[in-house]
Amino acid sequence: MAKVESFELDHTKVKAPYVRLITVEEGPKGDKISNFDLRLVQPNKNAIPTGGLHTIEHLLASLLRDRMDGVIDCSPFGCRTGFHLIMWGEHSTTEVARALRDSLKEIRDDITWDDVPGTTIKTCGNYRDHSLFTAKEWCRDILAEGISDDPFERHVVAD
């Protein structure tokens, strides 16, 4: 079996919430794609309930694109502790951490149910499993800890 970097990471050493650059891959024509670990809660200590995580996912899909160029996809980890962020080009963890922080602030402070995209039977594969209330509560707790641009040392990005 091929080795997967995420399964090689020592999850007992990281200090969430953080942004971690997993890898930058280069395609045959020189195009670069960056893969980030957006870890919102401490692995094996906590997990975001699926309804809240699902709503955060739908919102981050738009909010991160509003703040950064090159976003390809933002997908939740099965362990429910965060997301993979895939982007064209190379980006710093500080840039991504600021965009993540600002997106979570918008979810916490400004988003209403009417703002959440993809919540109908036609636009979502599991439209019943959303919770804006839970998303806001988790964003509040995550932001209270601060988003670090380093996975092993707490270096919270400033406003």
In this prediction, residue 135 carries a pLDDT of 98
- 34 domain-assigned: yes
Q: How many domains does the chain have?
A: 1
CB-CB neighbours of 126 under 10 Å: 10
Residues listed for the chain:
159
Q: What is the CB-side half-sphere exposure of residue 25 using CA atoms within 13 A?
A: 9
Percent with pLDDT over 70 in the chain = 100
In this model, does residue 6 exceed pLDDT 90?
no
pTM of the model: 0.95
Please indicate if the annotation marks 79 as binding a ligand.
no
In this prediction, residue 159 carries a pLDDT of 79
Please indicate if the annotation marks 124 as binding a ligand.
yes
Q: Before 17, cis peptide (omega within 30)?
A: yes
- 124 domain-assigned: yes
In this prediction, residue 70 carries a pLDDT of 97
What residues form DSSP beta bridges with 36? 21, 85
What's the DSSP call for residue 110? T
Please write the tens of the pLDDT for every residue from 16-57.
999 999 999 999 999 999 999 999 999 999 999 999 999 999
Arithmetic mean of pLDDT, 118-122: 97
- The domain spanning residue 90 has which CATH number? 3.30.1360.80
Per the CB < 8 A criterion, the answer to whether 97 and 149 are in contact is yes
Residue 2 or 38, more confident? 38
Per the CB < 8 A criterion, the answer to whether 57 and 30 are in contact is no
Please write the tens of the pLDDT for every residue from 58-111.
999 999 999 999 999 999 999 999 999 999 999 999 999 999 999 999 999 999
3-state secondary structure of 58: helix
Per the CB < 8 A criterion, the answer to whether 87 and 68 are in contact is yes
48: CB partners within 8 A, 6+ apart: 40, 41, 56, 80, 81, 134, 138
- 112 domain-assigned: yes
Please write the tens of the pLDDT for every residue from 148-157.
999 999 999 9
Residue 159 or 122, more confident? 122
Range of the domain at 56: 13-156
In this prediction, residue 3 carries a pLDDT of 85
Please indicate if the annotation marks 74 as binding a ligand.
no
For residues 25 and 63, give the distance between their C-alpha atoms in angstroms, rounded to a whole number. 24
- 147 domain-assigned: yes
- 142 domain-assigned: yes
- 1 domain-assigned: no
- 136 domain-assigned: yes
112: CB partners within 8 A, 6+ apart: 132
Q: Give the model's confidence band at 127: pLDDT under 50 very low, under 70 low, under 90 confident, else very high.
A: very high
In this prediction, residue 141 carries a pLDDT of 98
- 6 domain-assigned: no
